[in-house]
Amino acid sequence: METLAPAEEASADAPPGQGRSGPPTVAPSRRAVLCGLCAATATFGTAARADEPAEAARNKPAQPGDWLASFEDGHAGALIDPAGVKRDMPPLLAWPFDPAKKIARDGSRLNLVLVMRFDPATLSPDERPRAANGIVAYTAVCTHQGCWVTDWLAKKQLLHCPCHGSRYDPRRGGAVVLGPAPRALPALPLRLAGDKLEVAASFTDHVGGEAPSGY
Ligand code: FES
């Protein structure tokens, strides 16, 4: 399963948002996939798009009781198996999934989330109750200007936005640890429901950049 590209080396000695010799190191295919979203090219629910209730479900923010469906190459649309989310993996991209309509909420870029797993003992007191056996989820949209938070700094265990270098700590409620982001990355509380990951509550804060970059 493809995951977010590690950017540790690219950002270690570089100005925020840049690799040693140019733009941030992100897998081209991943950046292209996300840019495809900018053009509102969705990948799920094609057959139902003429159906207005289904269209509304696609655009709706994550709801308690939703499941999570993968947005990873080769796995798109498959429900995420909690057992497949390992502690040493970079974040996975996922959409909330409406179990009643059986449709991913892929109608808005604001719905895309990052899913990752940590040792529950390393999570902050605020974050621990939002985690499902150590699995946490955050919006993939930076709170600064709305870019994709595409990079994972594996050694530091931080999320990194390549646009202006904001970094977020997913073990501490998405707290900003570097850069211009004005607030923490909103978390999506999770719980386990049998063999599924389920959304336990709405995002902890509104999703999106304070000064949207236009896509
Ligand atoms: Fe993410 Fe500016 S740091 S949009």
**Residue 175 β-bridge partners:** 169
47 has pLDDT over 60 = no
Residue 193: how many other CB atoms lie within 10 Å: 15
Task: Quote the pLDDT of residue 40.
Answer: 39
What local confidence, expressed as pLDDT, does residue 72 receive?
75
Which of 159, 163, 168, 177 for a ligand 1 pocket mutation test, highest count of atoms within 8 Å of Cβ?
163
Mean pLDDT of 113-136: 97
**Residue in 11, 142, 207 to alter for ligand 1 test, most ligand atoms within 8 A of Cβ:** 142
Q: Which pLDDT does position 53 carry in this prediction?
A: 77
Atom of ligand 1 nearest to the CA of 17: 3
Query: Closest ligand 1 atom, CA of 147?
Result: 4
Q: Superfamily for 23-140+183-199? A: Rieske [2Fe-2S] iron-sulphur domain (2.102.10.10)
Question: What is the CA angle 149-176-156, rounded to 5?
Answer: 75
Q: 144-189 pLDDT, tens per residue? A: 999 999 899 999 999 999 999 999 999 999 999 999 999 999 999 9
Stated as kind and residue range, the H or E segment containing 114 is strand 113-117
Task: Read off the amino acid at residue 6.
Answer: P
Q: How far apart are CA 116 and CA 69, in angstroms?
A: 14
3-32: per-residue pLDDT in tens? 454 444 433 333 323 332 233 333 444 555
Average pLDDT over residues 107-117: 96
Q: What is the pLDDT of residue 78?
A: 86
Higher model confidence: residue 215 or residue 51?
A: 51
- Each domain of the chain, given as residue ranges in start order, spans 23-140+183-199
CA Rg value for the chain:
16
* 211 alpha carbon – ligand 1 mean position (Å): 9
Task: Tell me how far the alpha carbon of residue 146 lies from the centroid of ligand 1, in angstroms.
Answer: 6
Distance between first and last Cα of the chain: 26
pLDDT in tens, 57-96: 899 999 999 999 988 766 677 899 999 999 989 999 999 9
Mean pLDDT, range 181-206, rounded to an integer? 95
Residue 197 pLDDT > 50: yes
Amino acid in position 167: R
